[in-house]
C-alpha cells in the first residue's frame, strides 16, 4: 500500500510537470490529425553521427531488421486471426474475458480488470518503460534514416488528446519526399528499424530479468492451487449430510446443497467435503468431489514455508517431511500470503493410495496456455518454477524484477502491434512497399494497401463490438 501511495504521488507530480511544460510552451504545440505535437531538434546531431559512423554494421543490421519485420508481421496477422477464431468458435469465452481486444497500456491495468495472473503495473513502470521503448524505437528510425542519407527534419514528442496529458509518444520527423525517392529496401530498413529496436530491448531485458532473478531470489516455500479430489458417478452417491439418498440428479443435488447446511457427501462409506465440478460423458453424469482431506478441511491457503519449523523449499522436501509422520499425527504448517505469515495446526489423514502413509491433500496443476499471449507469458517466465514460492534477498527485489518482466512483454507487444499491415502503423507502409516490389505497380500497391487497412480496421471494430456484447 505504501508503494502504491508513492506511485500515485509520482503520477500527480508527472501530470503537473507535463501540464506546466505544455502550458509554458503552448505556442510551439501543433495539431496533426488526432495528435498534439511538440517539435524540436533534440538528438538530431547524435542520430546523424551514429547513422553515418557505423556504416558497415548498419548494413548488416538493416537486412536483419527487414527480416525481423516480416516475421513480426506474420506473427501479428496470426495473432489477429487467432483472436477472431476464438471469438467466432467460442463466443461463450468472451464473457469470461475482462480486457477488451483493443486496450491502450495504462497504469494499474491488472488492478482495474482484476487480472491476478499479471504482476502489478505501477505508473513508475509505465513512465520508465514508455520512455525506453518509445525513444529507442524512434532513435532507430532516425539512425537508419541518417544511414540511408534521408534528412531528419524534427524530433519531439506528442500526446493523444483523448488521454491528455498522460499518454505521450516520441517521434522522429523525416523528409517524406526524400524518403520516397530511396530504393524500396532502404525505405523498408527505416520502417522496420523501430520494431527491430523494440525486439532488441525485449531481448536485453530478458537477459537482465533472468540474471537478476538468479542473483536476487531464492526458493523459500512451495505453492499449491488445488486440493485432493476424486471423480465419481452421480448415481453412486448414497447419502448427503448422512441422509440416505437414491437416484439423485445433479439439479436435485445442487438445490439440496444450496438449501441445506451442507456438511458432506458419502459414497459407500467414503466422505467428500465439497463439489468441484460436474460433467457428462457417454450419457453418464459425473461429479468431481473434493476429498475429506486435512488441507481443505482446515482451509489451508498460502505458500507453505515450513512444517514443524523445518523449512520446505520444494515439493520433494514436502514429501520427505510428510514421510516422517503417520496418519493421525498433528503438525504445524507455516504459510505466507500477501496479508502476512499464518500458522495452521492440523491432523494428517490417510493417503488413499497407501493408508499407512500420512496425507495432507494438496496438489498443483501446471498452467498450459493455448493462446498466443499465454504462451508468450509462459516463455517469459519459464525459468521460474510455477509451484515454488520465491523470496528476494534484497529490499525491492520484486519491484525490480517485475519492471524487467513488463519491459519484456511490452517490448514484444509494441513490436507486434506496430507491424500490423494497417496504415497508421509502420507495418502499413512496410506492407505497401512489399506489394509495390512484387507488382511493380503503384496503383495496385495503393489499392491493396487501402483494402487491407480497411479490412483490419473492420476486424478490430467487430472484435470490440463482440466484446462489448459478450460482457453484457
Mean pLDDT across 204-217: 95
d(CA 173, CA 34): 16
Q: Tell which residue, 21, 250, 13, has the closest CA to residue 156.
A: 21
Q: What are the pLDDT digits (tens) for 173-210?
A: 999 999 999 999 999 999 999 999 999 999 999 999 99
CATH number of the structural domain 295-363: 2.30.42.10
Mean pLDDT across 105-124: 83
Query: Is the distance from CB of 278 to CB of 183 less than 8 angstroms?
Result: no
Contact residues for 97 (Cβ-Cβ < 8 A; gap 6+): 467, 470, 471
Contact residues for 24 (Cβ-Cβ < 8 A; gap 6+): none
Percent of the chain with pLDDT over 70: 86
- 120-124: long-range contacts at Cβ-Cβ below 8 A with a sequence spacing of 24 or more? 120/402, 121/406, 122/3, 122/4, 122/7, 123/7, 123/8, 123/10, 123/11, 123/14, 124/7, 124/10, 124/403
Residues of the chain with CATH 2.30.42.10: 295-363
Q: Report CA torsion sign: 434, 440, 442, 445.
A: negative
The answer on pLDDT for 451 being more than 90 is yes
The pLDDT of residue 388 is 94
Residues in a beta bridge with 229 = 290
CA dihedral 307, 312, 315, 317 (to 10 degrees): -90
The answer on pLDDT for 435 being more than 80 is yes
Amino acid at each position: 500500500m505504501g508503494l502504491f501511495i508513492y506511485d500515485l504521488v509520482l503520477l500527480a507530480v508527472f501530470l503537473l510537470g507535463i501540464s506546466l511544460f505544455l502550458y509554458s510552451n503552448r505556442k510551439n504545440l501543433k495539431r496533426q490529425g488526432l495528435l498534439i505535437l511538440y517539435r524540436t531538434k533534440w538528438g538530431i546531431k547524435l542520430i546523424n553521427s551514429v547513422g553515418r559512423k557505423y556504416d558497415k554494421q548498419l548494413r548488416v543490421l538493416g537486412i536483419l531488421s527487414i527480416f525481423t519485420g516480416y516475421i513480426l508481421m506474420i506473427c501479428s496477422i496470426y495473432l489477429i486471426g487467432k483472436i477472431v477464431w476464438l471469438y467466432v468458435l467460442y463466443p461463450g469465452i468472451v464473457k469470461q474475458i475482462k480486457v477488451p481486444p483493443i486496450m491502450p497500456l495504462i497504469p494499474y491495468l491488472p488492478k482495474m480488470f482484476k487480472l491476478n495472473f499479471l504482476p502489478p503495473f505501477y505508473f513508475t513502470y509505465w513512465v520508465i518503460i514508455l520512455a525506453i521503448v518509445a525513444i529507442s524505437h524512434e532513435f532507430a528510425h532516425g539512425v537508419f534514416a541518417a544511414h540511408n542519407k534521408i534528412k531528419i527534419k524534427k524530433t519531439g514528442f506528442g500526446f493523444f488528446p483523448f488521454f491528455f496529458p498522460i499518454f505521450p509518444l516520441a517521434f522522429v520527423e523525416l523528409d517524406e519526399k526524400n524518403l520516397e525517392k530511396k530504393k524500396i529496401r532502404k525505405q523498408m530498413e527505416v520502417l522496420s528499424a523501430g520494431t527491430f529496436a523494440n525486439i532488441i530491448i525485449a531481448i536485453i531485458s530478458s537477459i537482465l530479468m533472468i540474471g537478476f532473478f538468479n542473483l536476487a531470489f531464492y526458493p523459500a516455500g512451495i505453492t499449491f492451487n488445488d486440493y485432493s479430489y476424486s471423480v465419481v458417478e452421480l448415481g453412486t452417491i448414497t447419502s448427503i449430510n448422512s441422509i440416505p439418498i437414491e437416484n439423485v440428479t445433479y439439479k436435485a443435488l445442487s438445490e439440496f446443497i444450496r438449501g441445506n447446511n451442507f456438511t458432506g457427501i458419502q459414497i459407500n462409506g467414503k466422505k467428500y467435503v465439497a463439489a468441484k465440478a460436474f460433467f457428462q460423458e457417454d450419457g453418464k453424469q459425473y461429479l468431481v468431489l473434493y476429498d475429506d482431506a486435512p488441507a481443505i478441511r482446515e482451509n489451508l491457503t498460502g505458500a507453505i514455508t515450513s512444517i514443524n519449523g523445518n523449512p520446505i523449499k520444494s515439493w520433494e522436501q514436502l514429501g520427505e517431511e510428510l514421510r516422517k509422520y503417520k496418519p493421525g499425527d498433528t503438525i504445524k504448517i507455516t504459510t505466507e500470503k500477501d496479508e502476512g505469515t499464518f500458522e495452521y495446526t492440523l491432523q494428517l489423514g490417510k493417503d488413499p493410495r497407501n493408508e499407512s502413509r500420512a496425507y495432507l491433500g494438496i496438489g498443483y496443476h501446471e498452467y498450459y496456455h493455448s493462446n498466443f499471449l499465454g504462451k508468450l507469458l509462459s516463455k517469459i517466465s519459464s525459468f521460474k518454477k510455477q509451484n515454488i514460492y520465491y523470496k528476494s534477498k534484497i529490499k525491492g527485489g520484486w519491484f525490480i524484477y517485475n519492471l524487467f518482466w513488463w519491459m519484456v512483454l511490452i517490448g514484444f507487444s509494441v513490436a507486434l502491434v506496430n507491424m500490423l499491415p494497417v496504415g497508421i502503423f509502420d507495418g502499413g507502409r512496410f506492407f505497401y512497399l512489399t506489394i509495390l516490389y512484387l507488382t511493380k505497380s503503384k496503383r495496385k500497391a495503393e489499392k491493396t494497401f487501402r483494402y487491407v487497412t480497411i479490412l483490419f480496421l473492420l476486424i478490430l471494430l467487430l472484435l470490440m463490438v463482440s466484446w462489448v456484447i459478450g460482457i453484457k
